[in-house]
A and B are shown apart, each in its own frame.
Chain A
Amino acid sequence: MNIATKVLERATESRTSKNAPKGESHTGGGLLTGAEIFIRSLEAEGVEIVFGYPGGAVIGIYDTMHRLNPTFKHVLVRHEQGGTHAAEGYAKSTGKVGTVLVTSGPGATNCVTGIADAYMDSIPIVVFTGQVPTKLIGNDAFQECDTIGVTRSITKHSFLVRDVNDLAATIKKAYYIARTGRPGPVVVDLPKDVLMATAPFHYPASIAIRGYSFAQKGNKNQLQIASDMIRASKKPLFYVGGGAIIADAAEVLTRVARRINAPVTTTLHGLGAFPENDSLSVGMLGMHGTWYANKAVQNTDLLIAVGARFDDRVTGKIEAWAPHAKIIHIDIDPACISKNVPADCPILGDVKLVLEQLEPLVEPKDTSEWLKQIDVWKAECPMSFKSDGKLRPQEIIRALRDKTGGHATVVTDVGQNQMWGAQFFTYVHPRTHITSGGLGTMGFSLPAAMGVAFGQKPGGLPVISINGDGGVLMNIQELGVAAAHKLPLKVVILNNSYLGMVRQWQELFHEERYSHTDLTPTNPDFVKLAEAFNCVGLRCERPEDIQSTIDAAWEVTDRPVVMDFKVIMEEKVFPMVPSGATTDEMITASAEDIN
C-alpha cells in the first residue's frame, strides 16, 4: 500500500439495531441550557443507563436530571473506576454503547483505568467528564485536569466542547465513533460554562465526519484468494477473536466452520463465538490455552484469523509461532492486519459481512485426517485437575458450569481465577464471557458484572462474577450498589490467600521467593464484608460443600451473594507457555507433577 487516502465520505448511520438512536430531535425555536441539551441528547441517542458520580463541575447536569426526570436510568456508583467498568460490562454484554458521567479533576482521573481498559479491549463507551469553565482552563483552577491530554493515547477519540451550539452534534459524533468500526472509548470534556450557556436544541439524525471511515465488506479478489487457500488447505484452523463477537458473527462463523469442517480455537476474548461443546472446538489457545489448541496452531497449514489481533499472550515467541501456516486475516482495523504477523491474505472488513461473503465461496471439505489427529491430541492431554479431597478452583468452575449448563454470563477478574474461569467453564453463547484481557485490570469483574446485570432484560441469564481475593477488593465498594439495586449477582471468590498469578510466577520462575504476595495478613472476612454491604455471604472450605454452597447461592434472588471459597494456595494454572517462550515449550500439568 503506497498511498493511504481516506475517502471523504459522509459517515452516515448504517447500523440499525445497535443502540437504536431515536434519530432527529429538537425543540423548535426555544433555548435550552447546555445541561438540558446534554440530557435531551442522551435521550435522543437512546441511552438506557448512565453510570455516574457527581461533583462541582457537573452539578448542573445532576440538578437538571433531577428536574427533567429523563428516560434513562442513572446509577450512582461508589467509585468512578467502578462506573467505567460497569459501562464496559454493559457494553460487552448488550453490544450497545456504555455511558459514564463524572466530574472534573479526580472524577476524570479515576476513570483513566477504565478508559484504558476499554481502549485495549475495543469496548464502546462514552465518558462525559466535567471541566472547569473555559476561561479558567490552564490556570490550575480548582479540580482542573487536562483530561483530554491525560486520556489522549487511551481513547479512540476525544472532544473538548467549547461552544454550547456544538454540544448536541458532538454527543452524536461521540456515540457514532465509539460504536462503529473498531469500537473504543470516547471522552467528551464538558466545561461548566458550556453547560450553563443556552442554545437551540437540535439532535442531528446523521453526522458527517470527513476524516472517519471504516471498512465493511471485504474485497472480492481477496475473498476469492481466501476461498482458494481454504480449498487447497489440508489442515485449516480458525483462530477466532473478540472481533467475531463485536461483529455479532457467531452464527455465520459456526456455519462456515462446520461447512469446511475446520476446527476452531478462540482467544480469551473470542470465547463464546463458537460453541465449546461442539466437536470442532479446541478451546482457547495461547499462554494458558489448551495443549491441543496450541498443538493445532503449530501444525496447521492454514490459519484463518477472524477478528483477532495476534497478541503476545497468544503467540508467545512470535518467530516460532504457527510455522507452517499461511494466514488469512479478517479484521476491521487496517493497523491490526500484519502488525505482528504478516498475513498472506488480508481481508479488511467487518467479520460478519466478510464471512457472509465467504460462505457461498467455500465448499464442504473432508478434513477427517486432521480432525483425527486433533482428537489424538485431545486425548493425550485433556484439560484436567486433581481430585484429592482438597478444594481446588477448577472444580468450582466446573460446578458452576454444571449448575447453569453454560447458560450464564461469566465475568472474570484478572489472574489465575481468570484463566480457570476461561478454561473450565464451557462457553456456548457469544457475549457470555467478559473479562479484561488487553490491560488485565484487577478489580474489573465485580463492577463489570454489575453493568451486565443492569443491561439485562428480566429473566436474563444468571450473572457470575469470578474473582481472586486480591482483585475483588479493588472495587469491592460496588457491592453496595449491586445490593441497593437488588441485583442477584453470584460473586465467587477463589480465595487462595495470595496474589495467585504472581505467586505462580514466583514459584516457577523466581525460585519460590514469594515477595509480597501473601494476602493473609490483610484479607478481610469476606462473609462479614458481604453482610456489611447487605449481601448474603457464604463460605465453603471443602470440595464436598461446593454443590450445596452453589445451590444456596442460587436460592437468593433479591441481592448479591458472595461465595468465599477457601481454595488451596498451591494450585497453578496449566498448561502454560512461559512468557517469551515458543508455543512448543508449553508446560502441562502432568509435566509439572513429574518435577
Chain B
Amino acid sequence: MNTQTHFAQPTVVAKQTLTPQQIFRKQVAGESLHPGVSDSVHRHVLTVLVENTLDALNRVANLFSQRGFNLESVSMGEAKDPSLRRMTIVTIGNDRIIAQVIRQLNNLIDTIEVEDVTLHDHVERELCLVQVRCSALERPVLISVVDIFRATVVNITPDSLTFEVTGPPAKINAFIGMMRDYDVLEVARSGRVAMRRELAFEH
C-alpha cells in the first residue's frame, strides 16, 4: 500500500504577493491562482469492498454525511467472496476532496479495499426502467425509437409501455432525454456499477 502522497512542485509563479509556498498550496488544493475561477471539480467512481454487514453499509453512507462529501449515487451487491459486498459510489470533488474521501473510506474498519476506477480503464453500467404512457396507436413509433437504444419492453398494458435499458450513464441519460417527448409515468435508475477493465493486450 502506498499511502504517501507526492505532489508536483509549483511550476507557475504568478505575479502576486503570494509566497512560493502559498502558490504551491493553492495548486495542490486544485484552486486557481487567480481569484474568481472555481476549483476544478470532477466526478469520480469508486468501488469499495466492504464487510457483508448492514453496519458496514451504514458506516459508509454515514461517512458522506458526517464529512460533508458529495454522494451522487451508491449501489451495493454481493461480491465474489460471499462475506464481502461491493459498493459502487459516485462522488464529486476536486482532487484534494477525492483524496480525502478515499482515505476516510479506507480508515473505516469495515472497508477492505477502495479503488478509484475513474483513474483506470474501466466499464460503467447502469440499468434503468422507464414507464411511458402509450396508446396502441403510438406503440410502433415508440418502439422504433427505443430500439436504437437496444431497450427492451418488459411490460405492456393497453395504455402504457415499460422499457428496460442498460448501458453507460451517458446512454441512460440520452434515453431518458428522448423519452421526455412522451408522457413518462415513472423512472427508476439502479445507480452505477463499475469495474476495472483488465487489458489482455497492453501496448
Contact = CB atoms under 8 A, between A and B. Distances in A.
Interface of A: 1-8, 148-149, 152-153, 156-158, 160, 177, 209-213, 215, 219, 222, 319, 322-326, 333-335, 337-339, 341-344, 346-348
A325 to B, nearest CB: 6
Interface stretch (B71-79, B102-110, B161-169, B178-186): B102-110
A211 B4 contact: no
28 contacts: A1-B4, A2-B119, A3-B114, A4-B3, A4-B102, A4-B103, A4-B114, A4-B115, A5-B113, A5-B115, A6-B113, A6-B114, A7-B1, A152-B59, A153-B62, A153-B65, A153-B66, A157-B109, A209-B109, A211-B51, A323-B21, A326-B21, A333-B107, A335-B107, A338-B5, A342-B29, A343-B5, A346-B5
A435 B163 CA distance: 62
Interface centre among A8, A325, A342, A348 (most CB of B within 10 A): A342
B138 to A, nearest CB: 48
Given A211-B111, A335-B104, A6 B4 contact: no
- Between B3, B28, B110, B114, the greatest number of chain A beta carbons within 10 A of the residue's beta carbon is seen for B3
B11 to A, nearest CB: 15
- Size category of the B interface is 35 or more
A334 B103 contact: yes
Given A5-B113, A153-B62, A334-B103, 19 more contacts: A3-B114, A4-B115, A4-B116, A5-B115, A6-B1, A7-B1, A148-B55, A156-B109, A160-B55, A211-B112, A219-B4, A222-B4, A326-B21, A338-B99, A341-B25, A342-B7, A346-B4, A347-B4, A348-B4
B1 A5 contact: yes
The 8 closest A-B pairs by CB, nearest first: A342-B28, A335-B103, A153-B66, A157-B109, A323-B19, A334-B3, A334-B103, A2-B119
A309 to B, nearest CB: 13
B100 interface: yes
B21 A322 contact: yes
B102 A1 contact: yes
Contact of A319 (B22, B108, B113): B22
A322 B65 CA distance: 31
A219 B4 CA distance: 8
Given A152-B62, A334-B3, A344-B24, A5 B114 contact: yes
B96 interface: yes
Contact of A177 (B65, B100, B109, B113): B109
B1 A335 contact: no
Contacts of A337: 5
A188 to B, nearest CB: 13
A156 B104 CA distance: 11
Contact of B99 (A1, A158, A219, A326): A1
B58 interface: yes
A10 to B, nearest CB: 14
A177 B104 CA distance: 16
B116 A2 contact: yes
A4 B119 contact: no
Contacts of B1: 4-7, 213
Interface in B1-40: 1-5, 7, 18-19, 21-22, 24-25, 28-29
Nearest to B27: A342
A152 B58 contact: yes
B100 A325 contact: no
A244 to B, nearest CB: 20
A343 B24 CA distance: 10
A161 B103 CA distance: 28
Q: Counting chain A CB atoms within 10 Å of each CB, which of B50, B102, B107, B113 scores highest?
A: B107
A346 B3 CA distance: 9
A1 B102 CA distance: 9
A323 B22 contact: yes
B24 A342 contact: yes
A99 B135 CA distance: 69
A299 to B, nearest CB: 11
Nearest to B26: A319
Contacts of B19: 323-324
A6 B112 contact: yes
A210 B9 CA distance: 36
A324 B24 CA distance: 11
A1 B58 contact: no
B109 A212 contact: yes
A6 B106 contact: yes
Interface string B49-86: 01100010011001001100000000000000000000
Nearest to B7: A342
A210 B84 CA distance: 11
A210 to B, nearest CB: 6
Contacts of B105: 4
Nearest to B2: A1
A148 B5 CA distance: 34
Contacts of B114: 3-6
B201 to A, nearest CB: 22
Contacts of A7: 1
